[in-house]
Structure 1
Amino acid sequence: MVLLNYVVMCLIFGTTFLAIKVGIDAGAPPFFSGGLRFFLAGVILFSFMLWKKQARLSLLFHKEMLLTGIGLTFGTFAPLYWAEQHVSSGIAAILSATGPLMVMLLQTGITRQKPPGIALMGCLVAFVGVFLLILPGVTVSFSLLWLTGCIAVIFGELFYSAGAVYSRSVIQRFQDTSPIALNAAQMMYGGAMLLVLSLFTEQVHMESMLTANAILSLLYLVFVGSMMGHSIFYWLVAKTNPVFPSTWLYISPLIALSLGVILYNEPLYLLSLAGGITIIVGIILINMDGLKQLMGKKANKLRDVSN
């Protein structure tokens, strides 16, 4: 059951980038569609958790939910949704995989502790991968908007890293509350902020939101991407550990890159493919210590069963 859910989660997270692209290309305003996605998903999930008596309404009045929403949803997805107007879904997915790199750099800055040598090597490898990924777009068909979109995705991962580091202390502070309820609350705040941003920066024409592609994209992202995908992630965290579910970052970006090329005819340069693979290798090296611990625990479990 764990392996099946893991595969489903990787497939879901690998398809959300293309779903975003489809909705935006259909005419859906990026900030409005992103805000609607997360606010609706948050409201539905939080209402369900209230019904199951696994959350309290007072949770919404804690500043921690607002701050987490700024990092994990608003700051991460505002740049991503904007960028996918100018960058392919596959490139956006690969650049989003730099999140663990940003987390490592942030933690290093906070703790002032030098990371392991293999993590530093992974950091260097990931940076080389980003350079290779972006290089064809700069040299073959230069577009300032394309380059700005790539930078925007990476900028959003800075918010993600801050939100991820902060959310760990929030989960410890609210140990009596389901992580799913915490995630739902922060999605509501992040979604609401995206809608406010849309109010001041976009003209929303409802006819563009009512096209078939825009509606299907929104429904898929709300129910499958946000609700189902993240619920499976937290289920896997509860059943295994925080490291194993996070390894979706090594698989889903390559799924997104392949789907964009096959289903959406997105361009793919060999250098970009090499850069994407290099980034994934770098992220694996950065998380090598955690992966070794995970493999050690699995080996111990197998040994216990055989005995």
Structure 2
Amino acid sequence: MIIVNFVLMCMVFGTTFLAIKVGVDAGAPPFFSAGIRFVIAGSLILIWMVLKKKASFSLLVRKEMWLIGIGLTFGTFSLVYWAEQYVSSGTAAVLSATAPIVIILMQMVLYRNRVEGRKMIGCFISLAGVVVLVLPQLSLGTDTLWLLGCTAILVGQIFYAGGALYSKKVIGRFSETSPIAQNAAQMLCGGILLLVLSAFSERIQLESLLSMQVIGSQIYLIVIGSMVGHTIFYWLVANTNPLFPSMWLYISPFIAVSIGSLLYNEAVSIYMIVGSVATIVGLVVANTELFSSRKRQTFLAKGMSPDRVAHEQTKG
């Protein structure tokens, strides 16, 4: 069951980039469609958790949920959705996979954390992969919007890294509340902010929202991408460890590149392949330190729940 769920999760996360691309190419306003996705998904999951008495709607008035929502949902996905108007879904997936590298660098700069040589080597390999992916396109005279799209996605990973680091602290403060409920609350908060941004920056035309491509994209992203994908992720964290489910980052970019090429005729160059491989190899090198079983047993001996142990694991 664990392997089946892991494979399913990788397929889900690997195809969401194409689903976003299909929607924005069909004319869906990027900020509005992202906002609708996360408001609906977050609301449904939070209502479900409240009915199971594992959460309270009071989460929505906590500033922590809004701050996490700004990082993990608003900042990250406003930029990804906007960028996918100009870059391929495969490129977006590969650039988004740099998030763990950005987290390492942010910990080093902001918290003065000592970074092991292995992690630094991994960072340099991944950054070299990004250069290989982007630089040849510049030399071929790629238009400015493509470059801005790539830059936007990378900036989005700074938002994601900040939100991820802050959420680790918040999980500890809200130890009585399921991380699934916290994730739903931050999605809802971030989605509301996306809709506010849309109201001030986009013209919503009803006909552009009623095409089969837009409707299909939204349903897939809400139900499969946000609800099914994230639920499976947290189930895997609770039943294995944080390292194993996080390995989707090593696999899904290649799924995204392949699906985009096969189903959407996105161009795949040798530079994109080499850059993708280098980026993922660097990610593997920097993040494959296994969690100590002795440390896990220590946490369990203190009476921590699997969710809380998972949080402590991510600190390493």
TM over 0.5: yes
In 2, Cα distance between equivalents of 1:65 and 1:149: 28
- Shift of residue 188 of structure 1? 0.4
8 Å contact from structure 2 (residues 80, 152) kept in 1: yes
- Shift of residue 69 of structure 1? 0.2
- Map 1:212-291 → 2, pairs under 5 A: 212-290=212-290
In 2, Cα distance between equivalents of 1:246 and 1:172: 20
8 Å contact from structure 2 (residues 243, 288) kept in 1: no
Q: In structure 2, what is the equivalent of residue 183 of structure 1?
A: 183
8 Å contact from structure 1 (residues 101, 123) kept in 2: yes
- Shift of residue 172 of structure 1? 1.1
Q: In structure 2, what is the equivalent of residue 304 of structure 1?
A: none
8 Å contact from structure 2 (residues 129, 277) kept in 1: yes
In 2, Cα distance between equivalents of 1:293 and 1:76: 31
Provide, for residues 53-89 of structure 1, a one-character-per-residue CA deviation record: whole Å limited to 9, x for no partner.
Answer: 1111111111100000000000100000000000000
In 2, Cα distance between equivalents of 1:197 and 1:111: 31
Q: In structure 1, what is the equivalent of residue 206 of structure 2?
A: 206
Q: In structure 2, what is the equivalent of residue 301 of structure 1?
A: none
Question: What runs of 5+ residues in structure 1 fail to find an aligned partner?
Answer: 298-307
SS at match of 1:115: coil
In 2, Cα distance between equivalents of 1:213 and 1:113: 46
Q: In structure 2, what is the equivalent of residue 73 of structure 1?
A: 73
Q: TM-score, normalised by structure 2?
A: 0.91
Higher alpha-carbon deviation: 144-153 or 165-174: 165-174
- Shift of residue 293 of structure 1? 5.0
Q: In structure 1, what is the equivalent of residue 154 of structure 2?
A: 154
- Map 1:186-197 → 2, pairs under 5 A: 186-197=186-197
Higher alpha-carbon deviation: 175-184 or 90-99: 175-184
Higher alpha-carbon deviation: 22-31 or 112-121: 112-121
In 2, Cα distance between equivalents of 1:293 and 1:143: 48
Q: In structure 2, what is the equivalent of residue 94 of structure 1?
A: 94
Q: In structure 1, what is the equivalent of residue 59 of structure 2?
A: 59
- Shift of residue 141 of structure 1? 4.0
Q: In structure 1, what is the equivalent of residue 300 of structure 2?
A: none
Count of matched residue pairs: 295
Provide, for residues 140-167 of structure 1, a one-character-per-residue CA deviation record: whole Å limited to 9, x for no partner.
Answer: 2411000000000000000000001111
Q: In structure 2, what is the equivalent of residue 14 of structure 1?
A: 14
Q: In structure 1, what is the equivalent of residue 124 of structure 2?
A: 124
- Shift of residue 135 of structure 1? 2.2
Runs of 4+ residues deviating >2 angstroms = none
Q: In structure 2, what is the equivalent of residue 144 of structure 1?
A: 144
- Map 1:21-32 → 2, pairs under 5 A: 21-32=21-32
Higher alpha-carbon deviation: 88-97 or 173-182: 173-182
Question: What runs of 5+ residues in structure 2 fail to find an aligned partner?
Answer: 297-316
Q: In structure 1, what is the equivalent of residue 174 of structure 2?
A: 174
In 2, Cα distance between equivalents of 1:54 and 1:206: 37
Q: Which amino acid aligns with 2:123?
A: C
Q: In structure 1, what is the equivalent of residue 113 of structure 2?
A: 113
In 2, Cα distance between equivalents of 1:204 and 1:111: 42
